[in-house]
Amino acid sequence: MILDLHVHSEASDDSRAPVAAYLTWLGKRRDERPVDGIVLTEHRHFDLGRDFRDLEDRFGLRILRGAEIETSYGHMLVYGIDAAIVRRFDFADVRLPAQTVVTEVARMGGVVIPCHPGRPTVGMYAHYETQPPLDGVVAVETLNGGSRRGEDERAASLVRRYG
């Protein structure tokens, strides 16, 4: 199964696309982009009540949900969110302690993946220059469609250096 793990809709501040519009676009490009589904990772919030079953059925694509949060080490994607994780963390807080988030979300059954880590300021790479490496990071996003020149390469070098 191929999933786009980092998708924003009009519910985020950096997208104006309704979920259905994104799915329509993907459906028209299935030959060139054989994606089986998406993971909506809206910025700084997670709505436990949002349900996309009707869109899944209509477009034949899986729609999973996560969130993109802001931490002391930059932006991170959180997957496996449930009511306990929502109660534990204020996703609107733009300075969540990264190590606590990585450790606690894993303990609670989820996973945290630093996103666009090669990006200045909001990527983990810049923070590794001044702070110790995080424990428990199992993966990082190394390809991002919004990356500028050199950002994905910085992310790849981070992976080579720290595993």
Lookup: tokens for 15: 């997208």
What are the tens digits of pLDDT across the range 53-106?
999 999 999 999 999 999 999 999 999 999 999 999 999 999 999 999 999 999
**96 contacts 69 by C-beta, under 8 angstroms:** yes
| pTM of this structure | 0.93
Could you tell me the residue ranges of all domains in the chain? 3-162
What's domain 3-162's architecture? Answer: Alpha-Beta Barrel (3.20)
Lookup: tokens for 79: 């997957």
Q: How many residues can be counted in the chain? A: 163
